[in-house]
Structure 1
Amino acid sequence: MKTNTPNVSSVSSAGEDLGSDCFVRVRKRDLEKLEAEVRTLRELMPKVINSDYIDTIHKGRSLDAFKERSDREQQQQREDCLHIRSRLDVALSECQRERQDKLVLKQQLRECKEELQQQKAFCTELGTASCTLLWSASQSEEAIRDILAAGKLEPFLSIAGQTLETFIKFLNDEAKPQQSYNSKEHHLVLALAGVITNIAAVSCGRDFLSSSAHILLDTLLQLLYLMKPGVFPKLKVLMLMALYNITISVNGLKLISESPGLLPLLSTLLEDPDPEVCLQSLRLLQSLLLEREVMSHITTDFLSSFPLRCIHHLASSRHPALKQTAQETLEDLASFTNSQTKDSEKEQ
């Protein structure tokens, strides 16, 4: 005879089939023990879980969130740092390449400067030699006529004026080294001034200068005014000789006498320490005094501002030619003054 044995479910089996409607058989002793533990927890819970504990939990959660956010930010910063470092490497590479290019350009510039300096020296030497030959050739009247016939004199005079102007402005620049009397540049401008002087010494040449070289004549007067006393006297002498030669022509004399700075210029030049400069200045003044019509326009300014004491001082110079010219100038001045006095008396 079979015995009907009831099916008893264990805790593990109940855990495995939680979805079925069944009861769990628990021993009374275990239940009482569980109830005792629950009571104990209920008694201890208010003591353990208080506001501080809850705050601590919240703080912990906040710290976890902050840590996560910090980790994300750090990761982003790492990525940004890597990106910036990559850009820095590219910039450094470009900088290094540009530095190398700059060094190459500096070397090329240095070579170009050296080449330019060599070309400048060559051109200066060539110009000096050519102009010196031209200066020598221009002593012949026939050569001057040939130069005029060639039709190239006007551009030559333009270049000559620009060269003289550049040279003298360079002299007045104290920041630049001063030119030597033996420099190629000095010999070049001397030759140019000598050619102009020789051209003006011939009638056809001074007629050309009086009619077609007004800018050059103004430049010569301005440059004489700019040049300091005692500096490059030979150049001053040649320029004054050129102006004197031009005044031999009536048109040239009228043109130069109309320059507003002529009398102050002559006053300054008569005090130059070089006797040749003073001599040529007196000769230019004499040329003005001999032309009554010209002097009639500047009589008032001349008598009121011109330093006659300088001429009296030069009349006692040890330089024979200068002394004689100064005495002749004083005689011309006296003659001019007497004629002016007689003219005034006649008008009255």
Structure 2
Amino acid sequence: MADVQCETHVLVSSSELKGMVSEITNLKNQVPKVLAEVFDKASKVESLEKALESKCKEMEKLKVECQHLTAKVEVWMVECEKEKEDKLILRKKVAETRQHLAHQAEYCTAFGAAACTLLWRVSRSEDTVQTILNGAKVEEFFTLTSQTLDSFMKSMIEEGKRKNIDEEENQFVLAMAGTITNVAAASCGREYLASTSAGKIVLDVFLQLLMQMGVGQCIKLKTLILMALYNVTINCNGLKYIAEKNGVANLLCWLLQNESEADLRCQVLRLIQSLVVEPDTSNKLTADVKSLLCDGFLESLTTDRNADVREVAMEIRDDLKALQCDI
């Protein structure tokens, strides 16, 4: 039996056929462009996949590094905690050491105050002073005295404790100054203070203390220092050494005009008198004193309530008049 082929034909109008042909032609023309876009997108996808793969590898690397750093941080944190514990231990030790040093300082101050107070008392004898000066540690004693007095003054200035002075420390310093005053009361002591480097340093520190201490402060210490300086001026070398110090006239006149304690003012007057009336002192020092102590002020001291102040003031007035007549 023969195959029967059925063909179906669709009648298309000429205009529709032309439209279809035009559309097919247009689609054919679009194919290269579409393919180019597809290939371009595929290339971009491939590039993105490679970039993603690279980023993934980089992320893995960073993850490993992060884990490594995390491990280091944990180690550092442990070490930091250990250091904190060590610091706490050290702080406790430092606090204990400071407390121990404070106790030692208090003990040394108390011991020094007691020892120097005893030395102050026994040094009233000239024979004892001679024994002290013949000792092996005499230069060291005078050096320590200078350093102690200087340190005492600096600590008061820095800490602003001019009025609140520790009793033991105050007694220690007073005893040291008192011992030097007693040494200066002996002829051998005056010679030592005026002729040795250690003795001159003590005198320099004494003058510095008088300059630095405030008005009305450390009256006993100032009085002892002035007594010591007066004693030293009995020695010719001592007189010359103190008289040649720059500003000594200004210092003494300032103390006399500003301090109100009678005994201290009397000691200032005695020292001024010793410096002015001795022939070994310069005329400049005498002129400075006369210039700084005007006649009215000096005259007012001759009527002071304190008998000692009145007496010494009158002597200085008469001495200055006599010196002026001699000139």
Query: TM-score w.r.t. structure 2 length?
Result: 0.85
Structure 1, residues 33-54: CA drift from partner, whole Å, max 9, x if none? xxxxxxxxxx9x9499622322
Pair 1:181–1:325, CA change in 2 (3 A)? farther
Look up the equivalent residue of 1:250 and give its one-letter code. C
**Greater Rg over alpha carbons, structure:** 1
Q: Partner letter of residue 224 of structure 2?
A: L
Superimposed CA distance per residue, residues 252-300 of structure 1 (whole angstroms, 9 cap, x where no aligned partner):
1111111112101111110212222211010001112221231435344
CA spacing shift, 1:179–1:154, aligned 2, 3 Å: farther
Instruction: Identify the match of residue 275 of structure 1 among 258, 262, 272.
Output: 262
Between the two proteins, the alignment pairs up a number of residues equal to: 298
Corresponding residue number in structure 1 for 2:98: 113
8 A Cα contact 1:288 1:295, kept in partner: no
2:249–2:285 contact (8 Å) kept in structure 1: no
* Displacement after TM superposition at 1:308 (Å): 4.6
Would you say 1:145 and 2:130 are equivalent positions?
yes
- What's the secondary structure of 1:270's corresponding residue? helix
Letter in 2 for 1:189: V
The match for 1:336 among 294, 315, 323 is 323
Q: RCO higher in 1 or 2 (8 Å CA, sep ≥ 6)?
A: 2
- The corresponding residue for 1:13 is none
**1:309/1:160 CA distance change after superposition, 3 Å:** farther
Give the drift of 1:104.
1.0
Tell me the alpha carbon deviations over residues 302-325 of structure 1, each in whole angstroms, 9 at most, x when there is no partner. 444444543233222212211222
Aligned counterparts of 2:218 and 2:51: Cα–Cα separation in 1: 87
- Secondary structure, aligned partner of 1:301: helix
In structure 2, the partner of 1:185 is 169
One-letter amino acid of the counterpart of residue 138, structure 2 = L
1:6 alignment partner in structure 2? none
Conserved 8 A contact 1:270-1:310: no
Alignment of 1:137-286 (within 5 A): 137-173=122-158, 175-178=159-162, 180=164, 183-212=167-196, 213-271=199-257, 272-286=259-273
Q: Give the 3 Å change call, closer, same or farther, for CA 309–76 of structure 1 in structure 2.
A: farther
Q: Secondary structure at the match of 2:176?
A: helix
Q: Is the 2:223–2:267 Cα contact (8 Å) retained in structure 1?
A: yes
Greater displacement, 139-148 / 71-80: 139-148
Cα separation, 2, equivalents of 1:234 and 1:152: 27
Structure 1: runs of 5+ lacking an equivalent = 1-42, 341-348
Instruction: Find the aligned partners of 1:177 and 1:94 in 2 and give their Cα distance.
Output: 44
1:7 corresponds to: none
Letter of the aligned partner of 1:265 in structure 2? Answer: L
Paired with 1:46 and 1:58, the residues of 2 have a C-alpha distance of: 18
Q: Give, as a single letter, the amino acid of the residue that structure 1 aligns with 2:137.
A: K
The alignment's TM-score, normalised by the length of structure 1, stands at 0.80
Whether the 8 Å contact between 1:289 and 1:336 is mirrored in structure 2 is no
Task: Determine if contact 2:184/2:193 at 8 Å carries over to the other structure.
Answer: yes
Whether the 8 Å CA contact 1:257–1:288 is kept in 2: the answer is yes
Residue 182 (structure 1) shift: 5.6
Picking from 275, 278, 296, the partner of 1:291 is: 278
Question: Residues of 1 paired with 2:33 and 2:321: CA distance?
Answer: 134
User: Contact 2:240–2:280 (CA<8 Å) still a contact in 1?
Assistant: no
Change in 2 beyond 3 A, CA 1:90/1:161:
same
Structure 1, 67-76 or 316-325: larger mean CA deviation: 316-325
1:24 aligns with none
